[in-house]
Amino acid sequence: MSGLFEEAKRLRLKKRFSQNFLIDEAILDRIVGLLSLSSNETVLEIGPGAGFLTERLLPGTGQVIAVDVDPRMVQYLSQKFSAEPTTPKDGLTESLALVQHDILKFPFEKIPVDQFQVVGNLPYNITSPILFSLVGELDTPKYPLRNRLSRITLMVQKEVGERITATPGEKAYNALSVASQFWFEPELAFMVPAGAFYPKPAVDSAVITLTPRAAPAIEVMDYKMLSRLVKTAFNYRRKTLRNALLHGGWIPASDLDTLLNAVGIDGKIRPQQLSITDFGHLANEYAKTHANLSRQD
């Protein structure tokens, strides 16, 4: 760790970029092991920073596209790896494509392969926006990037990792859990202590993986209705499911009782006790019994 620590310490960091470099070599190697790399594979690395993970990715894969918002880091990596920075407009064909770009505005369609992996050490303040830029929102069934991702491996704040991978009934289970698990199968691979980074963050982290499902967790007639249902329920998670949906103005009381009875769900349970399938059944029953809701293609 000492060599990486000394290298990281020499770099001038900007607080607005939330830069915390992973300097534990054993953990870096463990992350690479999760990827099961092949020599003809493309990996998109989000936030390469000082390149400690990048240099471990390069020997085992066909291409690394390293995207960092900080132009100083891109220049540093250019010197470190003797690779000229490039842009999406240039085609991203290099074995190491160094790109200075905001990942939230990155044109993923410019990546010149059908399938690729994503790996990244995400800034904690924008983890959810980055995640949804990859997996798509719950109400977007035809999000084009989903079918191109073979696997996502991310370093996130511990609490966020627990939410993404939580199961019904667990305290951490929330709308993020449902949205993440509807199209992907997430797994919390391992925890990472704050001391594994420089500078040391205030919280511990977790490495998670997300593997695309062959099909969504449940087929839904109206994904916008599903999204609204999930958000409403978890906005009032301390209430019973019935009261949460009533309080959120989701549906009139008489209709709600009929709906809950039709799908066999007890309105007295808490929202966090519903599985993804339960939410899907509720949304489907609502769509079937309300003619003014159009089915999505």
- Tell me the domains of the chain and their CATH numbers: 2-212 (3.40.50.150), 223-289 (1.10.8.100)
Contacts 24+ apart (CB under 8 A), 226-231: 226/138, 226/139, 226/279, 226/280, 226/283, 227/137, 227/138, 227/139, 227/179, 228/139, 229/279, 229/282, 229/283, 229/286, 230/138, 230/175, 230/178, 230/179, 230/279, 231/175
What pLDDT does residue 197 have? 95
Q: In the chain, which stretches have pLDDT less than 50?
A: 291-297
Q: Which residue has the tokens 């977007």?
A: 140
Which tens digits make up the pLDDT trace of 179-201? Answer: 999 999 999 999 999 999 999 99
- Name the amino acid, one letter, at 7: E
Cα–Cα dist 166/291, whole Å: 34
198 in helix, strand or coil? strand
The DSSP bridge pattern shows strands 21-22 and 197-198 to be antiparallel
Instruction: State both tokens at 15.
Output: 């607080």
283 in helix, strand or coil? helix
What pLDDT does residue 295 have? 44
Cα–Cα dist 200/169, whole Å: 33
What pLDDT does residue 1 have? 59
In sequence order, the 6+-apart residues with CB closer than 8 A to the CB of 252 are: none
E strand or H helix at 209, and its extent? Answer: strand 205-212
The answer to whether the CB of 273 falls within 8 A of the CB of 279 is: no
Q: Which residue has the tokens 């240039």?
A: 90
Residue 246 C-alpha from the chain's centroid = 31
Phi-psi sector, 136: left (phi>0), alpha (psi -120 to 50), beta: left
| Closest of 216, 256, 209, 265 to residue 30, by C-alpha | 209
Instruction: State both tokens at 190.
Output: 């391992």
